[in-house]
Copies of this chain bind each other. A is one copy, B any other.
Amino acid sequence: MAIIAAEQYLERVATLRPRLFIGGKKVEKLTDHPITKGVIDATARVYELTMDPLYADVMTATSHLTGEKISRSLHIHQSNQDIEKRLEMARLSSQKLGTCNYRCPGNEMLPSLAATTWEIDQDTGTEYHSRLNAYLRYAQENDLVVSGSVTDTKGDRSKRPLEQDPDSYVHVVEKRADGIVVSGAKQHATGAYAADETLVLPGLSCREGEEHYALAFVIPNGSEGMTYVAQYNPLSAEREHTEDIRYLGNPIYGQRETCLIIFDHVVVPWERVFMCGEVEYTQTLISRFAKTHRMNCGGACKVGFMDLIIGAAQLLAEYHGLSRASHIIQKITRMIQLTNTSLACALAAAHMGKEEPAGSSVFMPDEMMSNLAKLTTNDGFWEVMALAGDIAGGIAVTMPSERELDNPELREYMAKYLRSAAPAEKRMRITRFLQNWVAGLHGVGTAQGAGPSQNQNLILYRITDLEEKKRMAEDLANMQS
Contacts and interface: CB of A to CB of B under 8 A. Distances in A.
Given A372-B340, A461-B332, A477 B441 contact: no
Interface in A184-215: 185, 187-188
Contacts of A237: 234, 237-238, 241-242
A258 B398 contact: yes
Nearest to A327: B454
Interface stretch (A8-16, A126-134, A225-233, A273-281): A225-233
A474 interface: yes
A417 B153 contact: yes
Contacts of A410: 21, 227, 229
Contacts of A259: 398, 400
Interface string A23-36: 11010000000000
A448 B389 contact: yes
Interface of A: 21-24, 26, 95-98, 151, 153-159, 165, 167, 185, 187-188, 227, 229-238, 240-242, 246, 249-253, 258-260, 262, 264, 307-312, 314-315, 320-322, 326-327, 329-330, 332-333, 336-337, 340-341, 343-345, 347-348, 351-352, 368-369, 372-373, 375-376, 379, 382-383, 385-386, 389-390, 392-401, 403-404, 406-407, 409-410, 413-414, 416-421, 426, 429-430, 432-433, 435, 438-441, 443-445, 447-449, 452-454, 457, 460-461, 464, 466, 468-479
Q: How many chain copies does the complex carry?
A: 4
A380 to B, nearest CB: 10
A24 B407 contact: yes
A238 B468 CA distance: 30
